[in-house]
Amino acid sequence: MRESFGVLSTISVDVPGYPFGSVTPYCADDQGRPILYISYIAQHTRNIMADSRVSLTVVENRLNTDDVQAQGRITCIGDARPIEEHAHRIRERYFRYFPQSRQYEATHDFAFFRLDLVRVRYIGGFGRIFWVEPKDFMVPNPFSAEQEARIVDHMNNDHAEALKQYTGGVAATMIGIDSEGFDVLTHTGKQRISFDQPIHTIEEARQALVAMARQSRT
């Protein structure tokens, strides 16, 4: 998913039976499922602890239109579950996407939750509306946590100029990579850069990144 935040709707504890919406950041795990980092003192977390059923609605941020209904959007419906397995990988990946969130570890009682998908509603514009099953929505990351971190560190440490080329001359930091593309942070926020075709190995990633750097120079 290209965006960095969405509207998390939970079932209210204080107003029973009614939905409660709040804006929250997210990133994807190694299966493409949304990951949330939320505080136990927050209203939405209290709601989740009482009833795990939630939805996360993400709207495409298009600056060239003022018609919000023309923008693509998805609603991920599922159960928000506290994360125990693979917590270290998720923690490090999330903090790459949201570096400022690392400070929360020393303040409030924050924890990671994964949205286990039940169904996804996709709206891509007029006439492009349909349900998507989780197996068709999730895209497993071909890289292990160690492989992804190695690629990210290598690009940031040794290929800063190439990252600037990918973003049209803007300084950028790579924060994640998967089979369909990679994400960078610039002074304006997250930017998603897609590959021309899916990649599955470190060598394919290297070839794709080199080819993109060459194209950006021409």
Residue 100's pLDDT band (cuts 50, 70, 90)? very high
The mean pLDDT of 141-156, rounded to a whole number, is 95
What is residue 124's predicted lDDT score, i.e. its pLDDT? Answer: 86
Res. 66 pLDDT band, cuts 50 70 90: low
How crowded is the C-beta side of 116, counted as CA atoms within 13 Å? Answer: 8
63 has pLDDT over 60: no
**pLDDT score of 107 more than 80:** no
The answer to whether residue 11 scores a pLDDT higher than 90 is yes
pLDDT band at residue 216 using 50, 70 and 90 as cut-offs: confident
Per-residue pLDDT, 176 = 97
List, in order of start, the domains of the chain with CATH numbers: 5-137 (2.30.110.10), 145-217 (3.20.180.10)
The average pLDDT across 66-90 equals 85
Alpha-carbon gap, residue 164 to 218, rounded angstroms: 14
